[in-house]
Amino acid sequence: MNKLISLIQRAEYSHSLSKSEIVSLFKDNDCTEELFKAADRVRKKYVGDDVHLRGLIEFSNICKRNCMYCGLRRDNKNIKRYRIQPDEIIRLAEKAVGYGYKTIVMQSGEDDYYTVDKLRYIISNIKKMDVALTLSIGEKTFEEYKAYKEAGADRYLIRIETTDPVLYKKMDPGMSHENRKRCLRDLKTLGYEVGTGCLIGLPEQSFESLADDILFFKDIDADMIGVGPFIPNEDTPLKDETGGDFLTSLKVVAVTRLLMPNINIPATTAMETLNPRGRTITLQSGANVVMPNVTEGVYRKLYALYPGKICTGDTPANCKNCITGKIVTIGRAVSASKGFRVKA
């Protein structure tokens, strides 16, 4: 039997692969269907057919960082910046709960306007609505993470972006890889469900490096892994780069599912930017979460991490209906629970 097929079969039951085995799966283009089907079976066996929807509020596009790939980087003078006020964020969350979302995700650039006091106010008010709350607001101190947790935050997303320290240094000038890892450790210590992930297709990123990323996710026992292609942004220094491709990104999702059977894995918006059926295909290759946008009006367009972001002209109500339709069409169901990580 083909060596790669037996590798996939073994990983489906052992949930373990070596770095060179992962690389061989990335390099191959003949056994991809087997890989995606195996990941889909592992998803079904461990986390079931329910798809958890997380309502995403992009509340500020102001950022003090300068990540080379990102349209929100501070040196980008071409975008109009915005900040949504605390009471308005709470109102958006209320609406999202009205649409049936059981988790709210608050995401922004690293914007110091939102002090611990302001975030405490927002978090505690959203938590009165009986939902899970996820933050994705970047690198903070242990004390800050502790304050958000005490105010009621349940989960935190902070991608390592790449585990290659040399590449990280080039991609995230002025930032420290060690500090990013410290953030992940602190969040675990504080009892958050921790999400991380990487960009796929960064300049000079190798398959070996992507394999290291997946082994890192497993090593830190992340509860959620969000990955997606790097999509070059016109307003950044990486505008002329090729960016990530859909197939490699899908392989990263599938291998992650094989190795981490019971975690939550979103079918990210960036996947759908590269392929009109991107999220559906990803849901059928290991993913079990979707994060529809519940930001309203002009802000949706202005939160421009990368170009071609889907549904920026849509309304939150439409997005909910649209994604629900897609989920039902592939024989899956929208979850009625808050969707914490299932126990192994």
Binding-site members for S-adenosyl-L-methionine are: 161, 180
The answer to whether residue 15 forms part of the interface with ligand SF4 (CB under 6 A) is no
Which partner from the list ligand SF4, ligand SAH, none does 73 bind, CB cut-off 5 to 8 Å by kind? Answer: ligand SF4
Query: Among residues 26 and 303, whose Cβ is nearest to ligand SAH?
Result: 303
Q: Of 68-76, 89-97, 163-171, 241-249, which part binds ligand SF4 (CB under 6 A)?
A: 68-76
The answer to whether residue 148 forms part of the interface with ligand SAH (CB under 6 A) is no
How buried is 58 (Cβ within 10 angstroms: 0-12 exposed, 13-18 middle, 19+ buried)? Answer: buried
DSSP 43-89: HHHHH-SEEEEEEEEEEE---S---TT-TT-TT--SS---B--HHHH
Closest Cα to residue 231, out of 286, 299, 175, 278? 278
The answer to whether residue 223 forms part of the interface with ligand SAH (CB under 6 A) is no
One residue of 55, 109, 197, 266 binding ligand SF4 per CB under 6 A: 109
Angle of helix 19-27 versus helix 3-14 axis, rounded to 10: 130
Residue for token pair 């800050």? 144
The answer to whether residue 225 forms part of the interface with ligand SF4 (CB under 6 A) is no
d(CA 6, CA 25): 11
d(CA 234, CA 71): 8
Task: Mark residues 71-100: x for contact with ligand SF4 by CB under 6 A, - for none.
Answer: -xx---------------------------
Distances from the Cα of 299 to the Cαs of 75, 79, 136, 223, in angstroms? 19, 11, 17, 29
The answer to whether residue 167 forms part of the interface with ligand SAH (CB under 6 A) is no
The answer to whether residue 57 forms part of the interface with ligand SF4 (CB under 6 A) is no
Beta bridge partners of 24: none
Q: Of 62-70, 77-85, 183-191, 194-202, which part binds ligand SF4 (CB under 6 A)?
A: 62-70
Q: How far is the CB of 244 from ligand SAH (least distance, A)?
A: 8
d(CA 136, CA 157): 5
Q: Of 7-15, 20-28, 64-72, 126-134, which part binds ligand SF4 (CB under 6 A)?
A: 64-72
| Helix residue spans in the chain (DSSP H) | 3-14, 19-27, 32-47, 86-98, 116-127, 142-151, 165-171, 177-189, 207-219, 246-259, 269-274, 278-283, 298-302, 316-329
| Structure tokens belonging to residue 217 | 């996710």
| Structure tokens belonging to residue 295 | 């930001």
Q: Of 38-46, 225-233, 309-317, 329-337, which part binds ligand SAH (CB under 6 A)?
A: 225-233
d(CA 300, CA 40): 31
Query: Among residues 28 and 139, whose Cβ is nearest to ligand SF4?
Result: 139
The answer to whether residue 57 forms part of the interface with ligand SAH (CB under 6 A) is no
Task: Mark residues 283-302: x for contact with ligand SAH by CB under 6 A, - for none.
Answer: --------------------
The answer to whether residue 186 forms part of the interface with ligand SF4 (CB under 6 A) is no
Conformation bin of residue 297: beta by default, left when phi > 0, alpha when psi is -120 to 50: left
d(CA 121, CA 147): 11
Q: Of 97-105, 158-166, 204-212, 247-255, which part binds ligand SAH (CB under 6 A)?
A: 158-166
Q: Which residues contact 325 (CB under 8 A, 6 or more apart)?
A: none
Query: Among residues 17 and 72, whose Cβ is nearest to ligand SF4?
Result: 72
One residue of 23, 47, 56, 67 binding ligand SF4 per CB under 6 A: 67
Q: Which residues bind ligand SF4 (CB under 6 A)?
A: 63, 65, 67, 70, 72-73, 109-110, 138
Residues that bind ligand SAH (CB under 6 A): 69-70, 107, 109-110, 136, 138, 158-159, 161, 199, 228, 230-231, 233, 270, 305-306
